[in-house]
């Protein structure tokens, strides 16, 4: 199967069309050599007796009809061994740190088979990130995929880094690793991450994949798959708890759109391919825990919402797959609040299984619900105040309005290195709620109020 062909019939964008081949497998890895000896890699998208369509990861620049094409007879695989920890690789998996190539113990198909749903374990181990808006109101658990939806110029990277630094489970010390995949981000942003990883020593237990803004766009379609294949190896072969941060999914999706256009496919909503949901799912769903295996994969994808629009297909389809979303808000950022996480549209779908007695504290759910209810109501009232003025508010409404302001200042806002325990977070919540009359705490069971309300606790 290593015959070389010089039968390229057409080159169009990132695609080449090859004729008169022996049977070639779908999704097979392809190597293309230019006249000058540069070797590029590609993947079969469509194969038939008549023609084979190949997408070229490093771009088709420099290719001509004279270039030779070799079909490897195998799908794309990632070489893996424990030595991969600490390495910096390119977006297509080649060493980028001057180190030797990875000598594989195993090689894995980067497509990644689906975890059989019946062997998945239920994620329920509370991860304390030290950030109140996450731990208190949108709790993260091990094995979850929780993206950050942000916008250009907002501090999502700082939040991701703070999480990577502070994330821990209460109690046990366990082996863990961070996988960082950059897709089309600027060199400066990448440096920001790398410096922080170096400063905190995180690099020693990280694997970094870098596809930067000036690297080929098609390569980006590989990057998360390489990262997640590595994550599965570390988690399910070596038993590590793996945190995967990948940024920016928006660039990844743009590459997908570009590929779709090159293939002249019928586009779905706003020009993105109809299979974008499925494609994203094959990445995001590679998070989780498997019964009887020690490790776990937790994902933190970051994406910037084009035009801050959450209904844009990229955040929209992501939100339909991930287990919640953290929304970084431009309004809060403008007010000078860090981390500017707006809890109202944010959500952690797996929160319930990771909180409460035995996980965090018995009052967690009730406190969170009550905080949500009055913060949301207070934000609504701000709109009203803008029209009718504070004077027109009832006494109750005035209290709710003040609560919302205090909530942003005391609960949401915290330092970039401030690592709050979950108990501190819940107590901040209680102190805010204690400013309201007790009869207003309608979402909290009486026995919980009696036990945790500051008024009763002081006695």
Partner 1 sequence: MEVGKVYRVAGPVVHATGLKSHMYDLVLVGEDGLMSEVIGISGDKHIIQVYEDTAGVRPGEPVKETGAALVAQLGPGILTSIYDGVQRPLPALAEASGDFISRGLFVDGIDHKKKWDFEPVVKKGDLVKPGQPVGTVQEQLLIKHKVMVPPNLKGGEVKEIYSGNFTVEETVCVLDDGTELPMIQYWPVRTARPSTVKMAPTIPLRTGQRVIDGFFSLAKGGTAAIPGGFGTGKTVMQQTLSKWSDVDIVVYVGCGERGNEMADLLHEFPELVDPRTDRPLMERSIVYANTSNMPVAAREASIYTGMTTAEYYRDMGYDVLLTADSTSRWAEAMRELSSRLEEMPGEEGYPAYLGARLADFYERSGRVTTLGGEEGSVSVVGAVSPPGGDFTEPVTQNTLRIVKVFWALDAKLTQRRHFPSINWLESYSLYDLDLEPWFVENISPDWNNNKRRAMAILQENAELEEIVMLVGSDALPEDQQLTLEVARMIINYWLAQSAFHPVDTFCPYEKQFDLLEAILGYREFAFEALGRGVPVDVINSAASKDALAKIRLLDDYKPELEKVMKQMADEFKVMS
Beta-strand runs (E) in 186-251:
206-212, 241-247
What is d(CA 137, CA 354) in angstroms, rounded to the nearest whole number?
Answer: 12
C-beta of residue 276 within 8 angstroms of C-beta of residue 256: yes
Q: Which 404-443 positions form the footprint of ligand ADP (CB under 6 A)? A: none
Contact partner at residue 81 from ligand ADP, partner 1, none, CB < 5 to 8 Å by partner kind? none
Residue closer to partner 1 (CB basis): 7 or 27: 27
- Closest separation between CB of residue 102 and ligand ADP, Å? 39
User: Closer to ligand ADP at the Cβ: 19 or 445?
Assistant: 445
Please identify, using beta-carbon distances, which residue of 146 and 381 lies nearer to ligand ADP: 146
Nearer Cβ to partner 1 (75/337): 75
Contact at 8 Å (CB) between 268 and 274?
yes
Q: Determine if 349 is a binding residue for ligand ADP (CB under 6 A).
A: yes
Within 8 A by CB and 6+ apart from 121, the residues are: 143, 288, 289, 290, 291
DSSP type of residue 336: T
Task: Compute the chain's Rg from CA coordinates.
Answer: 25
CA distance 18 to 69: 8
Partner from ligand ADP, partner 1, none contacting 384, C-beta within 5 to 8 A by type: partner 1
Residues 289-348 that bind ligand ADP (CB under 6 A): 347
Residue 344 touches which of ligand ADP, partner 1, none (Cβ within 5-8 Å per kind): partner 1
CB 381 within 8 A of CB 400: yes
Rounded CA-CA distance 276/321 in Å is 11
Report in angstroms the alpha-carbon separations of 370 from 102, 110, 124. 52, 44, 22
Nearer to ligand ADP, 190 or 355 (CB): 355
- C-beta closer to partner 1: residue 206 or 253: 253
Q: How far is the CB of 273 from partner 1 (least distance, A)?
A: 9
The least CB distance from residue 346 to ligand ADP, in Å, is 11
CA distances 247 to 148, 180, 260, 276, 299, Å, are 10, 8, 21, 17, 11
Nearest to 279 by CA among 302, 256, 248: 256
Least distance from ligand ADP to the Cβ atom of residue 348, Å:
7
CB of 283 to partner 1, least distance (A): 8
Q: Which residue of this chain has its Cβ atom nearest to ligand ADP in the complex?
A: 349
Q: How far is the CB of 217 from partner 1 (least distance, A)?
A: 21
| Least distance to partner 1, CB of residue 201, Å | 31
Between 162 and 322, CB nearer to ligand ADP: 322
Residue ranges in contact with ligand ADP by CB under 6 A:
347, 349
């Amino acid at each position: 199967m290593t015959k070389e062909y010089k039968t390229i019939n057409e080159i169009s964008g990132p695609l080449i069309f090859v004729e008169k081949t022996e049977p070639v497998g779908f999704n097979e890895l392809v190597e293309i050599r230019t006249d000058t000896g540069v070797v590029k890699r590609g993947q079969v998208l469509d194969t038939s007796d008549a023609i084979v369509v190949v997408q070229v990861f490093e771009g088709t620049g420099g290719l001509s009809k004279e270039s030779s094409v070799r079909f490897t007879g195998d799908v794309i695989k990632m070489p893996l061994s424990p030595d991969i920890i600490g390495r910096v690789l390119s977006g297509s998996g080649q060493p980028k740190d001057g180190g030797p190539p990875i000598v594989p113990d195993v090689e894995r198909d980067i497509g990644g088979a689906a975890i059989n749903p019946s062997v998945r374990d239920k994620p329920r181990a509370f991860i304390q990130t030290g950030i109140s808006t996450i731990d208190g109101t949108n709790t993260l658990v091990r094995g979850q995929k929780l993206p950050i939806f942000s916008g250009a110029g907002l501090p999502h990277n700082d939040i991701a880094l703070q999480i990577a630094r502070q994330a821990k489970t209460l109690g046990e010390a366990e082996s863990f690793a961070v996988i960082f995949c950059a897709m089309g981000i600027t060199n400066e942003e990448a440096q920001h991450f790398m410096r922080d990883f170096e400063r905190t020593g995180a690099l020693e237990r990280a694997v970094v994949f870098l596809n930067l803004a000036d690297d080929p766009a098609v390569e980006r379609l590989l990057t998360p798959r390489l990262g997640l294949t590595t994550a599965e190896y570390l988690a399910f072969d070596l038993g590590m708890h793996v945190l995967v941060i990948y940024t920016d999914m928006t660039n990844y999706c743009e590459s997908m759109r570009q590929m779709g256009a090159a293939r002249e496919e019928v586009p779905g909503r706003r020009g993105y391919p109809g299979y974008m949901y499925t494609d994203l799912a094959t990445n995001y769903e590679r998070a989780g825990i498997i019964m009887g295996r020690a490790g776990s994969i937790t994902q933190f994808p970051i994406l910037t919402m084009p035009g801050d629009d959450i209904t844009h297909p990229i955040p929209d389809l992501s939100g339909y797959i991930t287990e919640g979303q953290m929304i970084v808000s431009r309004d809060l950022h403008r007010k000078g609040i860090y981390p500017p996480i707006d809890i109202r549209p944010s959500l952690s779908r797996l929160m319930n299984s990771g909180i409460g007695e035995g996980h965090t504290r018995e009052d967690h759910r009730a406190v969170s619900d009550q905080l949500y209810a009055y913060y949301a109501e207070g934000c609504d009232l701000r709109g009203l105040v803008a029209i009718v003025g504070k004077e027109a508010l009832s006494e109750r409404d005035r209290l709710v309005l003040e609560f919302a302001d205090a909530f942003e200042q005391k609960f949401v806002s915290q330092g970039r290195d401030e690592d709050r325990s979950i108990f501190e977070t819940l107590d901040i919540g209680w102190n805010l709620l204690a400013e309201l009359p007790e009869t207003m705490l309608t979402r909290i069971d009486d026995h919980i109020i009696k036990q945790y309300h500051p008024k009763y606790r002081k006695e």
